[in-house]
């Protein structure tokens, strides 16, 4: 049986360890500089209408708390959805709204936030959608939990009190008419 000389082993570790540590630090630093929203955890703050929302400007989010570089003056498309739209476990450039923007060469604003259902999507669009002045809206619906998320939201938050009745009344298409 052959034994490794401890001095030889220590020299090799002292040679390789600083190189590995330097590469690791450089990799982490580049990730924070290149696309900080991909590697930071956003802070959540209380919102009386929808429970929690992302604090604007945290984890590389824009001034509205969305996973975009900045708040636009006008976009072609607004993408609504939950974690599938946000791009959980994907880079910001790897989300479906970003891929759709590249494929169509249109400006797409990502309103996706994990844990939100259609009720929260409606709230986001009503409160921020007009600021983005979209031509189209694409909604991502995940049947695995979005309907139960909406049920919970409508029953838990006062903003949704009118939806708790058996009849929601007449649909007003003018309320959701796009400007284009």
pLDDT tens track for 50-98: 888 999 988 878 999 998 988 888 899 999 999 999 988 888 888 999 9
pTM of the model: 0.71
End-to-end CA distance of the chain: give it in Å, rounded.
Answer: 80
What pLDDT is recorded for position 108?
A: 95
Using the predicted structure, report yes or no on whether residue 7 has a pLDDT greater than 90: no
> How many percent of the chain have pLDDT more than 90?
26
Among the listed residues 101, 118, 179, 100, the one whose alpha carbon sits nearest the alpha carbon of residue 154: 118
Instruction: Tally the C-alpha atoms within 13 A of residue 159's C-alpha that lie toward its C-beta.
Output: 15
Q: What is the mean pLDDT of the chain?
A: 84
Q: What is the mean pLDDT of residues 133-143?
A: 90
Q: Name the residue ranges covered by the structural domains of the chain.
A: 36-176
Using the predicted structure, report yes or no on whether residue 180 has a pLDDT greater than 80: no
Dmax (CA) of the chain: 86
What pLDDT is recorded for position 110?
A: 94
Class of domain 36-176: alpha beta
What pLDDT is recorded for position 169?
A: 61
Structure confidence at residue 104 as a pLDDT band (50, 70, 90): very high
Structure confidence at residue 164 as a pLDDT band (50, 70, 90): confident
Among the listed residues 97, 94, 130, 127, the one whose alpha carbon sits nearest the alpha carbon of residue 112: 97
Rounded to the nearest 5 percent, the helix, strand and coil shares of the chain are 50, 10, 40
């Amino acid at each position: 049986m052959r034994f490794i000389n401890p001095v030889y082993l220590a020299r090799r570790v002292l040679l390789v360890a600083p190189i590995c540590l330097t590469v690791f630090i450089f990799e982490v630093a580049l990730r924070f500089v290149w696309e900080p929203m991909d590697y930071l955890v956003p802070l959540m703050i209380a919102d009386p209408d929808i429970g929690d929302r992302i604090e604007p400007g945290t984890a590389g989010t824009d001034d509205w708390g969305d996973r975009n570089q900045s708040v636009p003056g006008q976009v072609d498309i607004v993408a609504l959805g939950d974690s599938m739209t946000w791009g959980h476990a994907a880079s910001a450039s790897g989300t479906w709204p970003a891929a759709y923007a590249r494929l169509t060469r249109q400006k797409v604003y990502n309103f996706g936030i994990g844990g939100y259902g259609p009720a929260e999507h409606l709230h986001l669009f009503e409160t921020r959608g007009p600021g983005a002045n979209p031509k189209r809206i694409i909604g991502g619906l995940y049947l695995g939990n979005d309907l139960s998320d909406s049920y919970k939201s409508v029953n838990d938050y006062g903003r949704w009190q009118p939806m708790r009745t058996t009849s929601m009344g007449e649909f007003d298409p003018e309320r959701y008419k796009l400007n284009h």
